Amino acid sequence: MTYEFLQQYWWCLVALLGGLLVALMFVQGANGHLGNRVLNESQKRMILNSTGRKWEFTFTTLVTFGGAFFASFPLFYSTSFGGAYWVWILLLLSFVFQAVAYEFQNKKGNLLGVKGFRVALMVNGVLAPFLVGTAVGTFFTGSDFTVNKLAITDPSSPVISSWGNGWHGLEALGNYHAVLLGAALAFLAIILGALYILNNVEDAGIEAQMRRCIKKAIGPFLLSFLMWTIILMLRSGFAVSPEQVIYMEPFKYWHNLLAMPGVLVMLLAGVVLLLCSLYLGGFTASRKGIWFAMPGTVLVVMAVFFLAGFNGTAYYPSCTDLQSSLTLQNSSSSQFTLTVMFWVSLLIPFVLAYIVYAWRAMDRKSITREEIETTEHKY
Amino acid sequence: MDVVIWSRIQFAMTAAYHWLFVPLTLGLALVMAVMETLYVVKKDEFWKKTAQFWIKLFAINFAVGIATGIILEFEFGTNWSNYSWFVGDMFGAPLAIEGILAFFMEATFFAVMFFGWDKVSKRFHLASTWLTGIGATVSAYWILVANGWMQNPVGTTFNPDTVRSEMASAAAFWEVVTNPVAVSKFFHSVTSGWVTGGVFVVGVSAWYLLKGREKKFALRSILIGGIVGLVGSAAVMISGDASGVHAAEFQPMKLAAAEGLEEGGKGAAFTIVPGVKVPHMLSLLATHDWNGYVPGINDILRGYTDNEGRVIPSVADKMAMGRTALDALETYRGSEDPAVKAEALALLNANVQYMGYGHLEKPEDVIPPVGVVFWAFRLMVGLGMLLALVLLLCVWFAWKGKLENCRWLLWTALWCIPLVYICGQAGWVVAEVGRQPWTIQGLLPVNVAISSLSAAAVKTTFFIFLAVFALFLIIEIRILLRAIRKGPEVEPGNA
């Protein structure tokens, strides 16, 4: 296996994990619905118990996504995490509260009360997809950092990757193009959450509300995603020459799309699947929208990652110093490590198989009011 | 204080906090899996209720363990940027294996275990309970492979083109995976988790007996928890002995600090507490040789000859070689001339094993805080022995049917719960404070491993995490206490 093949293979896997992470953010989106005033307490408990049996998949996928990025492209990990400090810390905190909120919220003596933990779940529900979207948005807008590997020999300032401003990542919130992707992801999560609840919970009142929410979210989601895509196609991108010199190329991402018809097909297929799910969820009585929305989301996110990293593109560009930009070549682990990880990754289908098996065993029945009222094992 | 200190305090706090939850996860997982196995084998509802009670406490504890694990993962990048580049290539494979093999196993089967009682078959549920614990244990192995490598960086070479440590062959990978430090650390940490789980189960059950409640439940739990704890104690002692030998071999300064040994020598005595020494004992423990040579702090600073006859240079000499390596790296990367590059590379390779020393300011920088390591070590060993004794007595008296009347022992068992946590924390203080100033032994000192952040930024996040951790700990303890007070409800009318 050539080094180049392995780097691309691992970029595909990082993209896949990113896609799965966003698709699994139906948990976040569903928790966002806990703020819906039309829903009564027992309906909220049903939603909570429904996402409560899935949140660990999202959380574990986040951990694995981080781990895979660390393992295969460590320079991204050291540059982005150490640089865009506040963005990652905020994301982290929102997930940390989410992780304990299920177990703690309905227990007596939890200090913050049911309300406190619900607020934490809702904050995570909105903030997590928004921040992840904005962070991925900077893959196309560039960030303010420099990379100098020789710095390690300088005792007075030994850090290889340094960020150019004191906002440490929060400055991305002032970048409308990156924020548009954050907004699109936040609306997408709300839709995914509603579609998931439709499928997993049996309650007429909840169903009506979820369909209403989907209808309301369609407009803002499509608008923000479409605007982000159009701007992306029009903007200059960070191209890498065969000599590994990075330069600005007008319409770079449009060129990428034309040069990689497979990616174009993925993007279109993903969008079509998403549109189908929106139609099923918003305008029919079907409960199966989520089965279109999740693969659709995975395809779209993977296409976005491919546009960022393939066809001679710097996926984590620096606008301060173009040559500091991260490419698949200059930021990856060694050929040997990528090879070992390649063999390990062949186990993924086996892992997916047992997850699906366990998930189906647990989901044979939809969550109903009776179950939540009678079972002891609930949140 | 500067950013290095704040980054260290923040990471130390997160790791110590994480370790409040992990050992109970590892230990309780084994206890409840054994109990559920008894239920499936004996078809006795009593064991089902018993297992379910401990699983309930496990779940309360598990959530915070997961929440703090991700903080550690993120902090590698956010606060230790240089470190995560430097080790990224070596961490890659273990992390990938951990993520794919262990994390999903733990998360998937935890959900089945917690919610699946009425949804899946008995046997599938039992398998899920075991797999949750096995997932947590496998996860611990790969994390400790990474940690073990930081204490004893085997199997990698420094690549001047990428400026990091890299693995280059299957043999190297095997060396990393079977690193003796990782193996002994794994057994030591996991089995100390069994002790924690055992002491927790015995202590909580002792409280029921003191209150005259849940007698059958408590006595049976004490037998199982106690035996798991005792097996753990025995394994902890064996792996602890191996850890001592490894410290002597790979991190002599850590051993010297843990012993407060200024001047070493052959047939070195072991200090139980200052002023009380056992002759030759340290040599025996550290080298398994009555007259083995153990270097003291000053010997290491001055340089010495080890038991295999190797001459170990003084720290000042290592620093000079380290600076030579760093200068050669600078020349190598700065020059286009192949002849200059080749010469610089040769010089770098000749001195690279001491590269980290080139970052130090003075030789004394290699001495960790001796008092802290010395007392933490005594606390760990002393408490470990006390806990094993209490477990043994509890199991013995429970077996003889006399435990209920032995109130002093029940009270002692209850008070052992905080002690087992102090014991585990002290162990990690020895391991991690003892290797200062190194993040990676000999290669990367802490002051070079950091991110380029202001001290104020890290200070801010430190206090945010401190507040969050304190809040979660208080909530967790309150919820646990309520669940314990409510009881397992296996014996109606007895509660």
Whether the per-residue pLDDT at B372 is higher than 70: the answer is yes
Q: And the tokens for B443?
A: 């290669």
3-state SS, residue B361: coil
Structure tokens at B179: 């690193």
Within B211-251, residue ranges assigned H as helices are 215-250
Q: Measure CB to CB from residue B451 to each of A111, A159, A336 and give the nearest one.
A: A159
The single-letter code of the amino acid at B125 is H
pLDDT at B491 over 70: no
Going by the DSSP 8-state scheme, the letter that residue A143 receives in this structure is B
Average pLDDT over residues A165-175: 94
Does residue B73 belong to the interface with chain A, where contact is any CB pair within 8 Å?
yes
Q: Band of the pLDDT at B108, cuts 50, 70, 90?
A: confident
Distance (Å) from the C-alpha of residue A117 to the closest C-alpha of chain B?
12
Which pLDDT tens digit goes with each residue over B388-437? 999 999 999 999 999 999 999 999 999 999 999 999 999 999 999 999 99
Q: Do B319 and B360 meet the contact criterion of CB atoms below 8 Å apart?
A: yes
What are the chain A neighbours of B99 within 8 Å (beta carbons)? Answer: 63-64, 67-68
Residues 18-37 of A with CB under 8 A from B: none
Least Cα separation, residue B172 to chain A (angstroms) = 10
Mark yes or no for CB contact B101/A74 under 8 Å.
no
Is A85 in the B-facing interface, judged by CB distances under 8 Å? yes
- Report CB contact under 8 Å: B471, A111: yes
Amino acid at A43: Q
pLDDT in tens, A62-110: 988 998 999 999 999 999 999 999 999 999 999 999 988 988 888 888 8
Cβ–Cβ under 8 Å, residues B290 and B280 = yes
- Which residues in chain B touch residue A62, judged by CB atoms under 8 angstroms apart? 70
Q: Which two tokens stand for residue B91?
A: 């961490």
- Give the other-Cβ count within 10 Å of B408's Cβ: 7
Q: Which residues contact B24 (CB under 8 A, 6 or more apart)?
A: B58, B61, B193, B196, B197, B200
| Distance, CA of B379 to CA of B283 (rounded, Å) | 21
Tokens 């903030």: give the residue: A127
What residues of chain B lie within 8 A of the CB of A152, using their CB? 82, 86, 163, 329, 448
Q: What percent of chain A has pLDDT over 70?
A: 99
Residue A359 region by backbone torsions, left for phi larger than 0, else alpha for psi between -120 and 50, else beta: alpha
DSSP B274-325: TTEEETTHHHHHHHSSTT-EE--HHHHHH-EE-TTSPEEPPHHHHHHHHHHH
Banded model confidence at residue A317, pLDDT cuts 50, 70, 90: very high
| Structure confidence by residue, pLDDT tens digits, B39-65 | 999 999 999 999 999 999 999 899 888
Q: CA-CA distance, A30 to A193, in Å (whole number)?
A: 4
Whole-model pTM? 0.94
Tell me the pLDDT band of B76, cut-offs 50, 70 and 90.
very high
Query: Closest chain A residue to B88 measured between Cα atoms?
Result: A74
Take residue B278 and report the two structure tokens written for it. 């056992």
Instruction: Please identify which residue in the block is written with the tokens 């192995």.
Output: B141
Beta-bridge partners for B277 = B271
- CB within 8 Å: A158 and B359: yes
Q: Quick one: pLDDT at residue A352?
A: 87
- To which H or E segment does residue B272 belong? strand B270-273
Query: Using CA atoms, how far apart are residues A82 and A78, in angstroms rounded to an integer?
Result: 6
Instruction: Give the number of other CB atoms < 10 A from CB of residue A341.
Output: 24
CA distances from A180 to A29, A173, A208, A234 (A): 17, 10, 29, 15
Contact B247, B254 (CB under 8 A): yes
End-to-end CA distance of chain A: 48
Helix (H) or strand (E) holding A247: strand A246-249
Residues 6+ away with beta carbon under 8 Å from A229: none
Partner-chain contact A159 B450, CB within 8 Å? yes
Q: Answer whether A193's CB lies under 8 Å from A28's CB.
A: yes
Rounded average pLDDT over A284-311? 96
Q: Shortest Cα distance from B470 to chain A (angstroms)?
A: 12
**DSSP string computed for B67-93:** HHHHHHHHHHHHH-HHHHHHHHHHHHH
* Residue A230 clears pLDDT 70, i.e. is over it: yes
**Confidence band (pLDDT; 50, 70, 90) for B1?**
low
Given this model, what pLDDT does residue A123 score? 93
DSSP label at residue B99: I
Is the separation of the CB atoms in B228 and B194 below 8 Å? yes
**B350: Cβ–Cβ under 8 A, 6 or more apart, which residues?**
none
Question: What is each CA distance from B126 to A137, A284, B116, B122, B196, in whole angstroms?
Answer: 45, 41, 10, 6, 22
How distant is the Cα of B288 from the closest Cα of chain A, in angstroms? 37
| Cβ contact B93–A337 (<8 Å) | yes
Average pLDDT over residues A177-189: 97
Kindly indicate the confidence band of residue B492, based on its pLDDT and cuts at 50, 70 and 90: low
Query: Tokens at residue A263, please?
Result: 């990616």
Q: pLDDT at position B104, please?
A: 83
Q: How close, in Å, is residue A268 to chain B by CA atoms? A: 30
Q: Does B470 touch chain A (CB under 8 A)?
A: no
Q: Which one-letter DSSP state was computed for residue A378? A: -
- Counting one residue from chain A and one from chain B, the pairs whose CB atoms sit within 8 A come to 278
Q: Do A92 and B124 touch (CB under 8 A)?
A: no
Q: What is the mean pLDDT of residues B333-349?
A: 94
Residue of A nearest to B104 (CA): A60
Q: How many residues does chain B have?
A: 495
Kindly determine whether residue B96 and residue A67, on different chains, have CB atoms separated by under 8 Å: yes
* Residue B396 confidence (pLDDT): 96
The residue of chain B nearest to residue A333, with distances taken between CA atoms, is B89
The answer to whether A350 faces chain B, any CB pair under 8 Å, is no
Report percent pLDDT > 70 for chain B: 99
Q: What single-letter amino acid sits at B37?
A: T
* Three-class secondary structure of residue B488 per DSSP: coil
Min Cα separation B446/chain A (Å): 11
Name the residue in chain A with its Cα closest to that of B87: A74
Q: Which of B138, B133, B106 is nearest to B37 (CA)?
A: B133
Q: Is B335 helix (H, G, I), strand (E, B) or coil?
A: coil
- What is the average pLDDT across A275-287? 95
List CB contacts (< 8 A) between B165 and chain A: none
Give per-residue pLDDT as tens, B205-253: 999 999 999 999 999 999 999 999 999 999 999 999 999 999 999 999 9
At residue B493, the pLDDT reads: 42
B477 touching chain A per CB within 8 A: no
Mean pLDDT of B363-387: 96
Instruction: State chain B's mean pLDDT as an integer.
Output: 93
Chain B CB contacts of A13 below 8 Å: none
| Phi and psi torsions of A284, nearest 5° | -130, 180
Longest dimension (CA), chain A: 66
Q: What is the mean pLDDT of chain A?
A: 93
On whether any CB of chain A is under 8 Å from the CB of B128, the answer is yes
* Beta-carbon separation of B107 and A57 below 8 A: yes
How many angstroms separate the CA atoms of A345 and B101, rounded? 10
SS percent in chain B: helix, strand, coil, step 5: 75, 5, 20
CB contact under 8 A, A358 and B112: yes
Query: Considering only A1-5, A50-54, B94-98, which range has the smallest mean pLDDT?
Result: B94-98
Check CB contact under 8 Å for A338 and B479: no
Distance CA B123, CA A81 (A): 43
Is the per-residue pLDDT at B100 higher than 50?
yes
Nearest CA in chain A to B66: A99
Inter-axis angle of helices A252-259 and A204-234, nearest 10: 110
Smallest CA–CA separation between A19 and chain B, in Å?
16
Mean pLDDT along residues A276-301 = 96
The answer to whether residue A62 neighbours chain B at the CB level (below 8 Å) is yes
- Give the separation between CA A247 and CA B125, rounded to whole angstroms: 57
Query: For residue A300, what are its two tokens?
Result: 């779209």
Quick one: which H or E segment has residue B471?
A: helix B455-486
Q: Residue A60: is its pLDDT beyond 60? A: yes
pLDDT at A373 > cutoff 90? no
Which tokens belong to A12? 């595909």
Considering CB atoms only, which of A68, A351, A378 is closest to B104? Answer: A351
Mean pLDDT of A119-143: 95
In the predicted structure, residue A372 carries a pLDDT above the cut 80? no
Q: For A17-65, where are the E strands, in sequence order? A: none
Q: Does A163 touch chain B (CB under 8 A)?
A: yes
A86, A158, A333: residue with CB nearest B89:
A333
Are A87 and A131 within 8 A, CB to CB? yes
**Region A33-44 average pLDDT:** 90
Q: Are A158 and B360 a contacting pair, CB within 8 Å?
A: no
Chain A: residue whose CA lies nearest to B111: A53
